[in-house]
Structure 1
Amino acid sequence: MIDDPEHKVAFVTGGAQGLGLGITHHLLNTGWKVMMFDRDKDAGDEVMASLDDEPRTRCLFFAGDVADEQNVAIAVQRTIDRFGRIDGLVNNAGIADPDSGSVEHLDWEKWQRVLNVNLGGAFLATKHATQHLRQTKGAIVNITSTRAFQSEPDTESYAASKGGLVALTHALAVSLSGDIRVNAIAPGWIEVGDWQKSANKSDPDHSDTDKSQHPAGRVGTPNDIAQAVSFLLDPKKSGFMTGETIRIDGGMTHKMIYAD
């Protein structure tokens, strides 16, 4: 097994925009090679074009749907063909359906799509990457959400999928014990407006009220999560951790907020 980070390879789903792009950049900046798997081809092509020559040689992009098993299998194989190994899997791809409506009107196809992407996609990526992660004694990081523990109205499909990821994390940690460590991160409010492709990019704008909801005094950034991903992928720093879900939310879920 190679411990030098310059030889290590990460497979990041949803890696071309938002939180996933922050993770991709952080891993590249710390010497990793990265397969950036994302269904938005324009976003992925834009990221590749923005990289300097050297990090571009360490980054591979594949446009595909994480809920499509054939797409996932092809992307994993292309990673092996290009880099020869996989040391870390980051199951980050996820969608929400803010217009799904109340539970009695929730469309079955919309419910199923959210579950297929957020939970099923993590299963599929794990299924196809596991044989390679066993060889490197690698690690998996699932990106869940604080919505696994608290909710807003009419978010059943998203909350269920993220709660499922918490359970999948400890189930996999037991099933893959001895070979692969599996942990999860539950981000809170993370600002990703400035981490989108150029057509969708927006400048962060947070009120004092937004910030005051967080004991940390601010809204989170992708780098806050990316650094934790890096920690969980590193066996020298987190080698005794598996099956855990870490909340990174600036303390928001611990603060009582009363209506005026």
Structure 2
Amino acid sequence: MDMMRVDQLAALAHPQRLALFRLLVRRFPDAVPAGELAGAIDVRQNTLSSYLSSLRHAGLITQDREGRSLLYRVDMDEAGGLMSYLVDDCCRGRPDLCSPLPAQARKGDTAMSDRKYNALFICTGNSARSIFGETLLRDVAGDRFTAYSAGTRPQSELNPFAVEMLRSKGHDIAPLRSKNVSEFQGPDAPVMDFVFTVCDRAANEDCPAWPGQPISAHWGLPDPVKAEGTEAEKRLAFQQAYAALKNRIAAFTALPIETLDRTSLQARLDDLARDLEDQ
């Protein structure tokens, strides 16, 4: 038996270590500061250090230093190796024996069909950033995408600065409203092909898995709603969020989606997220 895989399974056989690993998978390709991780899973710093040490020892995550901060990122090669080991060893090389792996495995081997795709933008309040994402994707590539947005804790109404920004850019604001993610989780909800989280809080929450396992990306942005200062300074924060999402959506819609399989497309989105963060 491969002892490294045993160590990895043992490291994940603890509820909070598993929660930590799942959080880092959701945040990939981000490198996340230790302090942010501690707050996300609500543990003391010394307890977190113990959990991180176990996951690092098992080879499931990596550690880097940036100034005085320690940053952690999931090692996707090792995570993929663990999944391959389970299929090859426990399933005797037959994913058909380990439902529901077959459907997920087939998705990784086939190209996306040439059709209109559904995309959902998620943040906490669904009053600014995710609304920007929905509007921009609809206006930039509405012939290829049906765009939606929602919040994990939506506000009762859209932020007035966000509405003003969209109106000034010539966007149609009539279809926009604040929505809860629960609207997109029922049996009659549209099946999502892409899910984008656009704020750190949404990425750190234990968001439920979407039916069909959509391709996902984390495009974290500072929350313009929390900007302080003069009205001009607040408007600048909304302008920066709008511009950042416009650049990301332009890069996303330029991808040859219909020619890529799901695994390749996910990798391209991960690379895109890293490239845009470096700009």
TM-score normalised per structure 1: 0.40
User: Of the two, which has the highest radius of gyration?
Assistant: 2
Length-normalised TM-score, structure 2: 0.38
